[in-house]
Chains A and B, each alone.
Chain A
Amino acid sequence: MAKKTAPSSDDDLARRLNRGVRKKHARLSFDGAVPFGEALRVQRWRLGNGLRIRLLVDPSAPLVSYHTWFRVGSRHEEKGKTGLAHFFEHMMFNETSNLPWGEFDRRMEAAGAETNAATWVDWTYYFETLPADELPLAVELESDRMRNLVVREKQVESEREVVANERRLSVEDDVHGAADERLQALAYGREHPHGWPTIGWMDDIEGYRVPDCRAFYRTWYAPNNATVVVVGDLDPADLLARIQAAYGGIGPSKLPARPTPPTPRQRKERRETLPWPTASEKLCLGWHGPPYASFEHAVAELIDELWTGGRSSRLRRRLVDELELVSALHGGIAGLRHGGLFDLWISMREGRAAEDALAVIDEEVERLAREPVPEAELSKVKSRLELHFLTHVETTGGKAEQVGYGETVADDPSHAFVRLEELRRVRPEDVTRVARELLRSSRRSIVHVQPTEAVS
């Protein structure tokens, strides 16, 4: 957990901002600050209605990034209504009782803002990065759509069509997307929230109705389920006063207690075949991984880099360069609150058998479990991870994303720096220990893509 800094003038600021404020939802409290690297710090504030506010003053560019992270994602959905969290990511750009349809985007564009949103298992977030003098606009429009979204049949119908097309793009016509979706369902089962796709099953998308959407909005889009993260060239006193005024009138919702069911026990390897019109075989593999806010997750991240990171990484070298079996390879470890898959995607060269690549992977699993990683190799991987870290916090938007992600998934806005420290202290024996636990074949699922027509 992050350490709090000593009480400061921030407490005085809270007293000043609360002077004359009668609504309890609008009263601000200061929850301390945590360092964000050596030079910056994240201030932690809270409104009476439960809205968390995280501010990071960084005047290095004349920009601000304004993020709103809702603690609702695909794991909060119900069977038969999968994809609703993602669907709302689209709906939130529609009309409100104050703004006609299209006006949100028009006003943001007039301010020169970059806006977008994303959804995953644990969260949905909305952001705009804009010139610093346009910050009041972000406060106004984000608070408005948290409370006043208008959900009508026309918008639901239009966005349903857009989302169906997004699904065609990323899953139905995309071999990697299709295989990954099968993999999640294979590893968790279609009934488990981690087993259904964040974009939702096509049948469910086609079945969204206005009452479903209204209920979802009323339940989850509430200040006590959100964190506002603002990073950039900002004046905290001015911004907090605006946030108080804009969000202070919004009441909290009653959030349902919907614990994520435990990961189904997997006692043996699972396999599935996916026929596809492609020239070469593919493999999509996944092992059940640890929760994001754990040291084991940091070690798994390091193992991923060790296997698939740079050109000298173990699997890349063997599969791509030495044996010339594979044309594309990448991996990753899902950063989820309750743990996700450690996965690999492998596209074979034409005419090469996926089983040959699998045999190499088995050898590399065995090697990790048996031989300590040499210190020089470990140091190399850490250098690459340090480079990745720096590139992630280079921009205003990048910093805001790190703060929001850490806050939402690990309850710590400076978790990115905690992770950096964890990675620095990984020892060879940690890699051996985590690899033995993580990469057991009995915890592995495999989707094998088979070409449906001969292509020469």
Chain B
Amino acid sequence: MRAKEAATGPRFSVASGIPVFVEPSHALPLVDIEVILGRGALADPDGREGLTRMTARLMRRGPRGTKAEAFDETLDALGSTLGVTVGTEYVRFQGSVLRRNLEAYLALLGRILVRPALRADDFARLKRRSLAELVAVRDHDRVLAARAFRRGLFGKHPYGRPVTGTLDSLDAVSRAEVQAHHAALVRAGDAMIGVAGDVSEEALRPMLERAFADVPEGRVAKIRRRAPRARRGRRVIVVDKPQRSQTQLYVGTLGLKMGDPDHYALLVANTGFGGTFTSRLVKAVRSERGWSYGAGSRVMADRQREAWTMWTHPAAEQLVDCLRLELDLLDAWVARGLTGDEVKRSKRYLIKSHAFDLETAAKRLDPQLETAFYGLPSDWHGGFVRHVRGVSRADAHAAVKRHLSPDDLTIAMVATVDDRLLGSLSALPGVRSVSTVRYDEL
């Protein structure tokens, strides 16, 4: 079977200049909507980490003239959802709505973008709530381990800062800063709209023109992005938490830049290493030894180099053996690459399973938005099958060697610390340092 390739490019732009991507499907009376703004958490000043997310969440509380409670009531009555996600480079408003209520939904979305209320009492309430959520995160070991990993890998680089902010940085954010941040956040020149589902371009166009007519023109101020640097040596960070019977464990190093020519070669290589149930890592850790219920590896990309990680969660008594095994597997993979058979199987899996990426209108829309947002070549996603097919065993190995350094690793975990554990971790090959941090001080 040949998978249908995704279309690229916007269908039209609204008068304010925002490009609109449309992926129609009339299978169900449902529409998914995304509005992406071209500025994310990288814009948070030092000491104000979490400002962009706080701004976006406060916008979500509703437009001027409508109380937050009434706004939520209206959204729910429309049979809709509206969420907001903040990344390092973007703010994304994303939701679904029953087709019959699409126009009313878009009108609300337009109002919160251009004229959000940003009320003082909503701000104070949201701040208290956000602080409470940061405390609640301490119950989630995987989140704690991921946070420690990013802090260890990226150090003082902005990618190492939590998008959610910290207790101190959020506490320092003022409403005036949020208002100023909003004024600089919403610009037609950096925004894009995506619509997928039960709607035609003809019906959609006038709705969007009305809803987004007042979005200010122009572009947001550029953020200077410096490249993160790999720290030398293998560095272990243990998040100390009482009574852990199991360890959430992340091991990784720097990954890729978005659009890197090695992207598909590294994708193929990683699929064989830790991307499927029969991959090396999963087979060795889970299938053969039963040491972890979950295991996997992943390459991430952003405008600067993101992370490559492998993760497992072994029982506390198997932690050191499991980590040693993972390091051995990584060394062997970087030194010798995958076998020819592994490369063949990885490519086949990626090509055949690509059909899932095109199953729904929303799934077909996403790669179009990503292509436009990051300025990727027009066939970046559309040519997925061809790109994967073109990767050779040598390409896959060269990409691993070029980008992943097994000598320079960040190893982060949540565990109950004792001297024996720290000694065992220090004795692992290549480990330069072992540091600890209490789970409630991370």
Contacts and interface: CB of A to CB of B under 8 A. Distances in A.
B277 A131 contact: no
Given A105-B277, A112-B354, A391-B30, A386 B291 contact: no
B17 interface: no
A309 interface: yes
B93 to A, nearest CB: 15
B140 to A, nearest CB: 9
B335 interface: no
Interface in A163-184: 163-166, 168-169, 172-173, 175-176
Contacts of A381: 76
B142 to A, nearest CB: 9
Contact of B290 (A62, A162, A310, A349): A162
A393 interface: yes
A198 to B, nearest CB: 15
Contact of A390 (B4, B29, B68, B289): B29
A114 B355 CA distance: 11
Given A60-B27, A165-B315, A394-B28, A109 B440 contact: no
B276 interface: yes
Contact of A393 (B28, B80, B133): B28
A327 B129 contact: yes
Nearest to A159: B290
B76 A310 contact: yes
Contacts of B81: 310, 387
Nearest to B279: A109
A95 B289 CA distance: 16
A383 interface: yes
A64 B420 CA distance: 52
B24 to A, nearest CB: 13
Nearest to B28: A390
B342 to A, nearest CB: 11
A150 B440 CA distance: 47
Given A169-B246, A394-B360, A324 B125 contact: yes
A200 B338 CA distance: 38
Contacts, number: 186
B288 interface: yes
Contact of B353 (A102, A114, A165, A166): A114
**Which of B3, B81, B101, B293 has the largest count of A CB atoms less than 10 A from its CB?**
B293
A61 interface: yes
Nearest to B243: A277
Contacts of B138: 278-279, 455
Interface string A379-411: 111011011001101111000000000000000
A133 B1 contact: yes
A317 B69 contact: yes
**Which of A114, A277, A381 has the largest count of B CB atoms less than 10 A from its CB?**
A277
Contact of A158 (B3, B242, B287): B287
B360 A161 contact: no
Nearest to A112: B352
Interface stretch (B42-50, B148-156, B343-351, B400-408): B343-351
Interface string B60-94: 00000000110011011111110000000000000
A273 B26 CA distance: 51
Nearest to B79: A383
A62 B1 contact: yes
B288 A112 contact: no
B239 to A, nearest CB: 13
Given A62-B1, A105-B278, A158-B290, A387 B80 contact: yes
Interface of B: 1, 3-4, 27-30, 68-69, 72-73, 75-81, 96-98, 101, 125, 128-129, 132-133, 135-136, 138-139, 141, 241-246, 276-278, 283, 286-294, 313-315, 345, 348-349, 351-356, 358-360, 440
Interface of A: 60-63, 102, 105-106, 109-115, 129-134, 157-166, 168-169, 172-173, 175-176, 277-280, 309-313, 317, 320-321, 324, 327-328, 347, 349-350, 376, 379-381, 383-384, 386-387, 390-391, 393-396, 452-453, 455-456
